[in-house]
Amino acid sequence: MDTATERALAGLWRRLLGVARVDRRDDFFALGGDSFRANQLAAQVQRTFGAPATATLAFDRPVLAGQAAWIDAHTDSPAAAPDTAGTGPELPLTTQQLEFLDWMAQTSPPRDPGAISTAIRLREPLAPGLLRRALDTVVRRHEPLRLLRARTPDGALRLGTAAELPAELELVTARDEAHAVELARAERERVGDLVADPLVRALLIRLDTSDAVLVLSVHHFVFDGWSLGVLLRELGLLISAFAAGRPDPLPPLALDHADYCAWTARQWERNREFWQQTLTGAPRALEPFPGRRPTDRFARRRHAFELPAELMAGLRLRARELGATPFMAVAACWSRVLVDWTGRTDLVLMSPVPGRTAAEHDALIGCLVQSLLLRVDADGADGFPALLARVRATALAAATHQFHAYHETAPLVPYPARIHYENWGSGPFLPGLRSEPFPLPREQQGLDWPTPGGGLDLSTPELICEERPDGSLSAAVVYNHHAFTPDTAARLATAFHAEVVAAAGPQESARA
């Protein structure tokens, strides 16, 4: 890129078109642009550069260099155009990160996805210097954890990478265990700010010389649930090695973040037609949804419940007999609840998957999660086996095409019915150290956001499930408390429990 405007404009193109690389000679439409994205481009050019762009910009000047020249000619000070040079090399972004950028920019002030956090009880001494050294080693190893963030005077977000970006490490002493719980929860409830916050935070709460709680938080923009396991494993190995006077034991990564992003971007092109066909005509939201109150605010609340191990064993057995997974069985039961509750049979579920299909993906830290949109046709699917067969076929097809440009498909179905299913085995711990999980809230209940443009929130209560080592299922209906009452969430949980009981039973009762 020859100019600051070309570099900044190339960043807009990459986000809009879902491509990993853009050259100044590239054609907007040859890279996948269309009239819809031409309008999006015009809006972003107006917001980023202050130039009076319309959709004709892309049609009259489809080549990037020509668009940049037009922008320079229509701004008061071309030299003032956003420049990423001061923030280091640009970090390639995943589709979830691109979607996060759009999601954050939809409200004023911008929303923030916050941090993914965990807390671990340490039953042996941990020297802060060892923890600091291990944290810094992990940050240097994984490029996303060195993301530099800044805003231009007009509010545009600039992203780059740094050679070094220390994590935040804070040491406090708790009066007793209740105080430690209070301190850990306060750390979890810190409101996120992608620009102002450190990306990686560690709070070491001392209870005694050989008893402490470690709270780790990493901003979700650069981190996902799978990455948490990678972080804990690497920290445990590094702390153990450094404590014994040994060097860094971690082997070089087989694949770096940029290569992963480039590979997934190629998959977006291959899978784009599948998702366009799948989502054509899909409902943008599940409405009307009985019990939903009109609101232009969003704040999460949770109604927690459990499904016992014996009941889940029956559901797993039934799923296996029908050639399906426990997730598919749970999704079928939840789909039946939504059909009965709303009377709608065209459902779009959204379920995250790790986005790691090759062995070399497993060791990466980043926001690599893929969001699968599962369009389920429940019309005429009477009984659990029939609906499970529909869910199974949909889930398998979506998984086959899981690497897709979610930042493109998300606007097509802005309010899918979210379902989150996890099976992590044991709770979080640090390998090589005497450690165990410490209780920490999953949701940040202090977050309260406006809806985009002040429109009505049409979100559907979300089902979150986590398999426990004993075979039981920890579950929750998570909902916008401005839109739904606790009683509505409780009734949905009860209905889901009843569907699981019916599905796991020895006989499937016929439905009228």
Question: Residue 161: what pLDDT?
Answer: 85
Question: Residue 92: what pLDDT?
Answer: 86
Element (H, E) at 203: strand 200-208
- CB hemisphere CA count around 374 (13 angstroms): 29
Question: Residue 89: what pLDDT?
Answer: 56
Element (H, E) at 214: strand 211-219
Structure token pair of residue 45: 């050019």
Closest CA to 164 of 142, 185, 187: 142
Question: Residue 512: what pLDDT?
Answer: 28
* Complete edge-to-edge strand list for the sheet that includes strand 300-307: 300-307, 473-480, 462-467, 417-422, 346-353, 370-377
Q: How many CB atoms lie within 10 A of CB 336?
A: 25
Structure token pair of residue 346: 């065209």
- Compute CA distances 245 → 13, 135, 234, 386, 435, whole Å: 48, 17, 16, 60, 21
Q: What angle do CA 239, 172, 214 make, to 5 degrees?
A: 40
- Residue corresponding to tokens 């079928």: 332
CA distance 289 to 431: 46
Residue type, 301: R
Number of H helices, E strands in the chain: 14, 15
Question: Residue 82: what pLDDT?
Answer: 38
| Radius of gyration of the chain, Cα coordinates, nearest whole angstrom | 24
Mapped onto helix, strand or coil, the DSSP state of residue 224 is coil
Question: Residue 16: what pLDDT?
Answer: 74
- Compute CA distances 281 → 138, 326, 371, 458, whole Å: 45, 29, 19, 18
Count, residues in the chain: 512
Residue type, 324: A
Structure token pair of residue 156: 């545009």
Question: Residue 424: what pLDDT?
Answer: 66
DSSP letter at 481 equals T
CA distance 293 to 484: 6
Along the 512 residues of the chain, how does pLDDT read in single tens digits? 577 788 778 878 876 776 667 888 999 988 888 876 787 788 778 767 878 888 889 989 999 999 999 998 887 644 333 333 334 556 789 999 999 998 988 888 888 888 999 999 999 999 999 999 999 999 999 999 999 888 777 777 788 888 888 899 999 999 999 999 999 999 988 877 888 888 999 999 999 999 999 999 999 999 999 999 999 999 999 999 999 999 999 999 999 999 999 999 999 999 999 999 999 999 999 999 999 999 999 999 999 999 999 999 999 999 999 999 999 999 999 999 999 999 999 999 999 999 999 999 999 999 999 999 999 999 999 999 999 999 999 999 999 999 999 999 999 999 999 999 998 666 788 999 999 999 888 777 678 889 988 899 999 999 999 999 899 999 999 999 999 999 999 999 999 999 999 999 864 433 32
- Residue corresponding to tokens 């850990």: 184
Q: Compute, in degrees rounded to 10, the torsion defined by CA atoms 413, 417, 418, 421.
A: -130
CA distance 2 to 27: 17
Closest CA to 357 of 346, 347, 372: 372
Question: Residue 156: what pLDDT?
Answer: 73
CA distance 14 to 35: 16
Q: What angle do CA 398, 273, 458 make, to 5 degrees?
A: 60
- Residue corresponding to tokens 């398999």: 467
Report DSSP letters for 267-289, one per residue: HHHHHHHHHHHHHTT--SB--S-
